[in-house]
Structures are given as C-alpha cells and as structure tokens.
Amino acid sequence: MRAEPGDFAESVLLPGDPRRAEYIAENFFEDAKLVTAERGMLGFTGTYRGNPVSVQTTGMGCPSTAIVVEELIGLGAKNLLRVGTCGGYHPEMQLGDLVIATAATAQDGTVSSITQGVPYAPAAHFDLVHAAYHAAEEAGRKPFLGPIVSADLFYDPEEDPQALWHSLGVLAVEMEASVIFTLAAMRGARAGCLLTVSDAIGSNKVERIQDSVLKGAVDEMVTLALGTLEALH
C-alpha cells in the first residue's frame, strides 16, 4: 500500500471497489485526504462526527484482501469493518436488505493457506456485531444476522448453491470476509462485516438490484457502518 504510520485511523471501512471507497470519503467524511493510491487500491482518511476514520479498498477476493488487512494492522488499524454487497441465499431476502455477518465459512484457498490446512471458523468480533445490530435497530432497519460464506469464485459452478447453503443456515455469499475475520483475530484487531443484498440467488435464477436502489441501500449501510465504528469509541 506504500502508506506510512499515521496515514490511517484506528477504525477503517473496507469496501472492495475503489470507486466506492472514493464515494464514501467524498460523501461521508469531513476533510477527507487521499493517503494511498497504490495499484489503484484507493485509501482515504478523514473524520466522521469528529472521530478519525479511514476507508481502504481491498479489491476482489481473499488474496488481495489479505495483503491490505496485514498492512493496515501493521500501520495501527484496530477496527476493520467490511462494507460490501452480497448474493442472498435466504428465500425471504429482498434486494437491498442488510446482512450483519456473525461468521464467514472460508470457501477459499487463502484462509486454508494461512492456517496451514487446520480447520478454522472465521468469526466477526462480538463488539462490532453488537454495535452494528443496535445501530440498525435504532435506524429502524431489520437486518439479517448470521453466517455467510466467502467464496473464491464469482461464477459458482455449483448447480444449486442457494439450496446447498440455505440448508446449512448460511445467509449470503461474498468474497472477502473470511480472511478479514481470520487475520484480525490472529493479530489482535476487531473485525466485522456489513453487506447489502445486491443479488437474490434462487434455484433457477439470479435477480440483480437496480443501480438506483443499490445506491440508496449502500448509503444506508455506510451510515450504519460509521455509526457502528463510532460506538466503539
């Protein structure tokens, strides 16, 4: 990332998309400053309601995210909160719904490499789950709360992934949370994950959210994420 100690706040939002990182900094932060643009992985630091906060792109997938998380923690980050989109597996989910992840099944090679094949259960930190749930409750949102799965593949070869994962109680699929939870636990940081349902995955089709609806849902998610980080102070 080619950043220096002091460039990042202790609390960091982690979107996958660099454009979303830039959007968050410009529309939610005060006095936002670009602190890294290495390889297009944009990072910004500013304040929110007087508290220092940063946002850093992770890119897509656990390998890229692992690099970012290791370096952020090395630079002093203590609270890492992923803000992203997901494919919803729960049949009652609507496009734009909010998911608060409690754990992330590691259907990826990165966590297995880190743990050297030892079975491991990546979990969100209770402080972030608790703060996020109450922030949503205060905002009148009814989030889905529970486990998700972090996959290596965007285009899943599984014939009916919704049937498989819903039968196991998994709410949604995304691509980064498992390694964020793993590395944070290993390094003594706190990590969480908020997701907006952008795709409803059923047994015979995938329904995609409209861009205008996605924007409003993501704005609400980011506001809740910033309230979650604020509650940790």
Q: Which of 31, 199, 211, 219 is catalytic?
A: 199
Domains along the sequence of the chain with CATH: 11-231 (3.40.50.1580)
Query: What is the pLDDT, as a whole number, of residue 42?
Result: 98
Residues 28-57 as b or e (16 or more Cβ within 10 Å = b): bbeebeebbeeeebbbbbbebeeeebbbbb
Query: Is pTM, for the whole model, over 0.95?
Result: yes
pLDDT of residue 221: 98
Q: Tens digit of pLDDT for each residue in 21-80?
A: 999 999 999 999 999 999 999 999 999 999 999 999 999 999 999 999 999 999 999 999
183 falls in which pLDDT band (50, 70, 90)? very high
Q: Are 193 and 199 in contact (CB under 8 A)?
A: no
Q: Are 100 and 133 in contact (CB under 8 A)?
A: yes
Our answer to whether residue 156 is catalytic in this structure is: no
> What is the rounded distance in angstroms from the CA atom of residue 64 to the CA atom of residue 226?
24
The strand pair at 79-88 and 172-174 is best described as antiparallel
CA atoms within a 13 Å half-sphere pointing along the CA-CB vector of 168: 13
In single-letter form, the type of residue at position 108 comes to D
Distance CA 35, CA 33 (A): 6
